[in-house]
Structure 1
Amino acid sequence: MYPAAMRTLSASAATKVLEREPPGGKVLESIASPQIEFRDVTKKYGAVTALTELSLSVRRGEFLTILGPSGSGKTTALMLLAGFEAPTNGDILISGRSVAAVPSYGRDQGIVFQNYALFPHLTVNRNLEFPLEMRGVKAGQRIGLVERMLKRVHLEEFGERLPSQLSGGQQQRVALARALIADPPILLLDEPLGALDRNLREQMQGEIKSLHREFGKTTICVTHDQEEALTLSDRIIVMRGGRIEQADTPEALYDRPANRFVANFLGEANILDSSALGEQQNVAPGTVSMIRPERVRISQANAAPLSDQDQRHCVNGTVEDTTYAGPLRKYQVRVGSLSIIVREHVASGQQIFRIGDAVRLDWLRADVRLLTA
């Protein structure tokens, strides 16, 4: 499948490797219009519906992440955009042109897979040369482009190595370099950091952000990793059951989730129960109240009230579990029938609570969010 995606596109595609559109050219004229559009796209596999009437627009230069649990339809959406699958109904447009019937090798996109999909029998240099060769770029030009790209991803000394001689992070850099070297307008990332350990993932997140700022590619990333999505994205789509639950900026999604599913999927959420908290909440039928764990303050049960105590809601509880995670400490506090999560940054001189301690929890009423249940 992958070699077919790298086949030659057209003679004009080769010129894009060496030249970008000049200022004031066609790219800038269409910057306000969506570069990618899904129009009521449905995808079925026999009796199973993977996507249901998906409508989505992606701006030129935007970094969009599609986030969701297994089976949500996020990978199906990416495979449709890549041209590896065809929609059952609906249409997909790139720069205003329908590509629903265009094969993968005719879409001029760079693709990075979770397993990197590097050619194991080719050196790093040859892996990067391959997409240029398929586009008809001359050998002398290919060498210069490969050298510059390897320098950009800090692998200039590894050109003659085989992929098996590289670490996971180095292989990921080669995969990114190969996807970018032919200057495609769109970059697709399929769980790009899923095979890396935590430290490498954090390093590569920074590298991907840097490459996106430098090259300005319209980037679609599919992942199930919430931290990765929050770190990398201009906008996030949260999916469930083949449909979009919410689409917004990372900040808005985390701070103002549309419903209980989004709140629980994107981080941790305390769903508040008025009967357990001992106060009447003005909550409409079909909605619930939510507070994020880092918005809850924990203190001794007999602690002096804060200066803004009249703006806070207070409850008493008992610590039933604690977790230390380096920069963060998490408590689970029993309040009536509820177990409320508290997350605070570890600081010098900070009071540490133990299991069984009586504590007071409080939070600003303004930090409580009403969600669709």
Structure 2
Amino acid sequence: MDGRNVTDLDVTGPDESVNAPRDTPTQIEFRNVSKRYGTVSALANFSLAVSRGEFLTILGPSGSGKTTALMLLAGFVQPSDGDILIGGRSVSAVPPYRRDQGIVFQNYALFPHLTVRRNLQFPLEMRGMALVERAVRVDRILERVQLSELGDRMPSQLSGGQQQRVALARALIADAPVLLLDEPLGALDRNLREQMQTEIKGLHKEFAKTTVCVTHDQEEALTLSDRIVVMRDGQIEQIDTPEALYDRPATKFVANFLGEANILDRPGTIVASDLIRPPTAVALIRPERMFIAAKRRPRRLEADISQAVSGVVIDMVYAGPRRKYLVRLEDGADIIIREHVASGLDVFHSGDEVRVEWLRTDVRFVTP
């Protein structure tokens, strides 16, 4: 864009928006929402508040209820019980086209028979905006997403990344206060996903939309979100910031779903920690918090603040900047260790006897 303030994109429609800003920090609220399909419960007693301007991601495996929550918020599905509020107003009976939300679908849902420019003009036409103002706004958003030269192309003439930018631009151009993202980067390859993660973060910072994103991609959730909701079987398993969820997961499910986790729960296994171990809890150590060394070498960590156990390398995987080791400890437990590739570090192979060390402060306890 040309440096204008984001408020230059404000839209004045003929009717008062169903989610016009109110004097409340909460923009979106689910109140005890359930959704049932016959005897199957897709979402159960779901309560959640999303602050204005927050980027919240709903994360979970297939069948966890995350997409159902998004479809309920968008208005494409009606709740069986409970209520949904946007801007302090109930929208459970409000149709999708009156909820004043921008939506980006996994398949982008661009109109294939319209040019990029016409795709972007469409939501403005639906709001009754004058032709001249529509043209100005389309030019601005095309420049912001770096597609100024492609306005006259058809969607089929664009790359996946360019189509994603158009979909984002169309969701933002009408300046709706809420943005919904449904697996927005699922159709892109890894490198392009990383580029678009940076672009989405920049757009969120600039436009300050209250954003709810649904994904099964843990890295995407950790990178983009202010908070993450981890779903399991139609219910919330844990909500927290990305750092807190990764470093202090409450349950074994969250620990395993959000990254890799070494769960040391074999009978008789003793794990030293500076934390008090709750009843029935099991020890967790992230793979990157463990160190691997030749068994004959001196310890890398001071004995009074760490723990060391012997093991044998089962496998080593080279992954560019990192090596990933699978090690079987002397008590029979298999663990994963990740370390950055660096000069001076020993490289171990299957059958090598090693010592594994970790700091007592890096041990966490989770419920099974």
Task: Tell me if TM exceeds 0.5.
Answer: yes
Mapping 1:1-373, distance limit 5 Å: 10-12=13-15, 27=21, 30=23, 32-273=24-265, 275=267, 277=269, 283-306=277-300, 308-335=302-329, 336-373=331-368
Structure 1 letter corresponding to 2:327: V
Q: Shift of residue 47 of structure 1?
A: 1.1
Which secondary structure state, in structure 1, belongs to the residue aligned with residue 345 of structure 2? coil
Cα deviation per residue 1:82-134 (whole Å; 9 max; x = unaligned)? 00011000000001100001000010000000000000000000000000000
SS where residue 257 of structure 1 aligns?
coil
**Do the aligned partners of 1:9 and 1:106 also contact (CA within 8 Å) in 2?**
no
Counterpart of 1:21? none
CA 1:280–1:346: 2 relative to 1, 3 Å: closer
Amino acid corresponding to residue 241 of structure 1 in structure 2: D
User: RMSD between aligned alpha carbons?
Assistant: 1.8
Larger CA deviation: 116-125 vs 348-357: 348-357
TM value normalised by structure 1: 0.91
| Distance in 2, Cα, partners of 1:126 & 1:13 | 26
Kept in 1: contact 2:61–2:232 (CA 8 A): yes
Structure 1 runs (4+) deviating above 3 angstroms are: 273-285
- Alignment-mate amino acid for residue 322 of structure 2: L
CA pair 307-75 structure 1, distance change in 2 beyond 3 A: closer
Q: Equivalent residue for 2:7?
A: none
Does the residue aligned with 1:157 lie in a helix, a strand or coil? helix
Deviation at 1:13, TM superposition (A): 6.5
Q: Distance in 2 between matches of 1:34 and 1:278?
A: 45
Q: Distance in 1 between matches of 2:111 and 2:119?
A: 6
Verify the 8 A CA contact 1:276 1:337 in the aligned structure 2.
Answer: no
- Aligned equivalents of 2:101, 2:289: Cα separation in 1: 42
Q: Secondary structure at the match of 1:221?
A: strand
Cα contact 1:72–1:239 (8 A) shared by 2: yes
Letter in 2 for 1:323: V
What one-letter code is carried by the residue in structure 1 that aligns with 2:338? R
The answer to whether the 8 A contact 1:276-1:338 is kept is no
1:340 counterpart letter in structure 2: I
**How far apart, CA to CA, are the structure 1 residues paired with 2:341 and 2:154?**
44
Question: What percent of counterpart residues are identical?
Answer: 66
Q: Could you tell me how far 1:277 is from its partner in structure 2?
A: 4.2
String of CA shifts for 1:301-338, please: whole Å, max 9, x gaps: 01212452211111000000111111111000011321
* Distance in 1 separating the partners of 2:313 and 2:209: 48
Residues 274, 280 of structure 1: 8 Å contact kept: no
Question: Shift in Å at residue 365 of structure 1?
Answer: 1.1
Q: What SS does the corresponding residue of 1:246 show, helix, strand or coil?
A: strand
CA contact (8 A) 2:301 2:357 kept: no
Matched with 2:8 is none
For the structure 1 residues 124 and 249, does the alpha-carbon distance in structure 2 shift closer, same or farther, using more than 3 Å as the test? same
Give the distance between the partners of 1:122 and 1:13, measured in 2 at CA.
29
Secondary structure of the equivalent of 1:263?
Answer: helix
Change in 2 beyond 3 A, CA 1:257/1:133: same
Q: Return 5+ residue gaps in structure 1 as ranges.
A: 1-7, 15-25
Number of residue pairs aligned between Structure 1 and Structure 2: 353
Partner SS for 1:44: strand
Q: Deviations over 1:197-247 (max 9, x none)?
A: 001000000000000000000000000000000000000000000000000
> What secondary structure is seen at the aligned counterpart in 2 of 1:161?
coil
For structure 2, the 5+ residue unaligned runs are 1-10
